[in-house]
Amino acid sequence: MPKMEPESSRGSSKADESPSRPVDAREEEFQHARDEIVVRLRDRGVRLMGHETGEELTGVLDAVERFEAAVERSGGDLMVDEPIGGKSPIAPDNEAFVLPRREASESIPVFIERIAIATALAKEKAQA
């Protein structure tokens, strides 16, 4: 997953900017990509506070996708194990296949670490 940082903040100088691609267009692309990630995370039941940076959103999405891949490799069914409308799954195959819920005051790094732990547990289920 590419970094969610607009090119203008990556350290490029004004002289490097293409005149055919104004900063506003890049900012618009950045916002569109950010909005898309927000929708994807919310569809998976991830609680967002609205102040997450693009880099944080990308990190969470990467962690969620690694978790989902581990669940699928372990024989889990994401349609059964994923939250519905931000609520807990109704009848998961296995609790180890349920994406952790982000707590209201939980930072992104702590949440990503909990997803990584859940990913490791899902991988263990594949080996069991």
Q: What is the share, in percent, of the chain residues with pLDDT greater than 90?
A: 49
79 belongs to a structural domain = yes
109 belongs to a structural domain = yes
103 belongs to a structural domain = yes
Write phi, then psi, for 87 (nearest 5 degrees): -95, 170
Q: Which domain holds residue 117?
A: 23-127
86 belongs to a structural domain = yes
- The string of pLDDT tens digits covering residues 27-64 is 899 899 999 999 999 998 899 999 999 999 999 999 99
Q: Which residue has the higher pLDDT, 62 or 96?
A: 62
81-117 burial: b if 16+ Cβ within 10 Å, else e: bbbeeeeebeebbbebbbbbbbeeeeebeebbebbee
Token pair listed for 92: 């998961």
Look at the chain and report how many structural domains it folds into.
1
How many Å apart are CA 29 and CA 45, to the nearest integer? 25
- The string of pLDDT tens digits covering residues 100-115 is 999 999 999 999 999 9
Q: Which residue has the higher pLDDT, 128 or 73?
A: 73
99 belongs to a structural domain = yes
123 belongs to a structural domain = yes
pLDDT at position 101, please? 92
1 in Cβ contact with 56 (< 8 Å): no
35 belongs to a structural domain = yes
58 belongs to a structural domain = yes
